[in-house]
Structure 1
Amino acid sequence: MKDMNTTSSVPNIPTELQAQAQDWLLRLQTGPVTAADAEAFRRWRARDPLHAAAFAQVRRLWVALAPAMQTAVVPVTAPSPTTVGAAVTVALPASGRHRPRHAVNLRRRAFLGGAAAAAAGWMVVRSPLGMWPELSALAADYRTATGELRTLKIADVDVTMAARTTMNRPADGSPGIEVSEGEAQFALQADAVQGFTIAVAGARLLPAPGARVNVRCVGTDVRITCLAGRAQLLRGARTVVLEAAWQARLLEDRIASVAPVATDAIDAWRNGWLLFDDQPLQDVVDEVNRYRTGRIVLAGGALPQRRVQARIPLERIDTFIDLVRDAYGAKVVNMPGGVVLLS
């Protein structure tokens, strides 16, 4: 493990100059380049050492975000009267040498993190940086934004929602909730009436009166932890009873494992902390990004697989960036919009 500070070697580049570098990068990457364009870029880059440094920064970010940029948008055709109500199929635009002007503009918006709306005929279905809510989240009955924690009552159940969480009421009006994305805790009073059901990833969780449970559904990471009392977990033909400090992990089609766990790390977010114990740095960054405005991006090498043990306060979450810089000798590049590139 290295212990070196490299931030001081990164020049302080004005925002206006960063924008110029972004314009040049997008011009060179997303359209035919003439000899006159190449000569103009050469003159701009040679005009000041900061110009070259700014272009190098945005190019590193572009390379790091390439996979997300490829899948950020899909073309959408307005349905005709005969197709209303029918299934609509959308396809990613084929890569090619010549890109439509509106496709280039949308990739520009995604790269700059500017807006969720796009040019006419296009729709953002997934934010490439996770910097704005997806369309499905905007329609949820309950939703929290990046970094937001929320407490509420649902059918006399005390609920605490972690950042970037979406939940919906059952369509049939029954007492309960569906967690579609994110993380939340549910605490039932000791005299609560049984029947409150939590749906998550095709499973049903029935906490007993007096129980407190943590439900996490972040991508493919689906975990249900009983923090107090007991709860029944049903998936297909299998039923599992979770006692306090026991956790079940769910895969797409089954309950994958049931085991005792240390609950401190699971309960930490509700108390204003993120705890990590020997976890890959990429996993840690993904979790930190749920609570931090902007985006932290890891670029290249073995850095994403480095193991991390850390205790990070949500109120000072950018101390995590200092930790990675100091512990691993990572270079820190600050970009507009709260985007930070670690390499």
Structure 2
Amino acid sequence: MLTGDAIAIAKETCKMLALGTKVYDSERLIHGGLAGSAQHELVEKADGFAEVFPEHKYQVVEMLQQRGHLTAMTGDGVNDAPSLKKADCGIAVEGSTEAAQAAADIVFLAPGLSTIVDAIKLARQIFQRMKAYIQYRIALCLHLEIYLVTSMIIIDETVDSSLIVFIALFADLATIAVAYDNAHFEARPVEWQLPKIWVISIVLGILLAAATWIIRGTLFLENGGIIQNFGSPQEILFLEIALTENWLIFVTRGGHPPSDPAGPTFSVNNDVDIVTVVVIWAYSIGVTVIIAVVYYILTIIPALDNLGRKTRSKADTQIENMIAHLSKLAIEHEHSSDGKSRYTLGARAEEIEEDE
């Protein structure tokens, strides 16, 4: 809490809001003889400061940011504008001045502070939807790229271009549901952990490509693998790719057939037997379950969970003390006896306030 009211009022308000009561006045903050890391630790451990001026609010926000904290600031007056602009998230409450609204990132149109919690939850849900979409799209692209390239190199075969268009269309339709997804929100601040996103997406893409290769490899068996009566490799691959890719959106958002001595029978008209379709559906569901288990394991690995996340709340006491000492120095200009100018470092003179 940063307030210009008396310290007794600040402590009583903290009790009403279930905040801590370690509230100090501005004299302890600025003129308490503290500097460097000691001053930063006071700001970091305190629950608030009373009888402060606008420059004090700005300094508190700046010190917390120097310690690596994400800071948010609420205010309503002109004197709050500098700190609202300085904070990572400035919030102008209902009835605030135009200066505060211009400096803030969020402007409340209704009284009350409970909207802050709702805004944070909603923002993190939007972030979760965006992350799920990005992982989904990267995995889909890697799936097609890995399978098509390897199939062209190994067996000189590819998927018909018209079917690729339909696969892309179905994938776009599946992503529409992400905008209305009942996404969860994390308890800690979220950020773009690009290394983690890439690792998970690459693993999912490789698993999808491997699943497609497995179903294509069964077509080379004497009994035709998944083909029950008749079928076409292009349509079988299209159905398997379309099903696994569309069901992958659910993941990112968190037996042997009888033998046929006569061998497989491919359809001349590129149609597929209904039994073969059912087998492909069952196979795709199994692939999705396996990918979901792998995705869950990847998300609970501690090392991967913190991969790409910035290290916060890390104090650099040496730099803080160095800056504090430098702030007490001043450059002195003097002339020597032979008339030459000389610049030296000296202690900054303390300002003496004269009573008028």
Instruction: Mark yes or no: TM-score above 0.5.
Output: no
Range into which the TM-score falls when normalised by the shorter chain: under 0.3
Structure number with higher strand proportion: 1
Q: Which entry has the higher C-alpha Rg, 1 or 2?
A: 2
Provide the TM-score with structure 1 as the length reference. 0.22
Structure number with higher helix proportion: 2
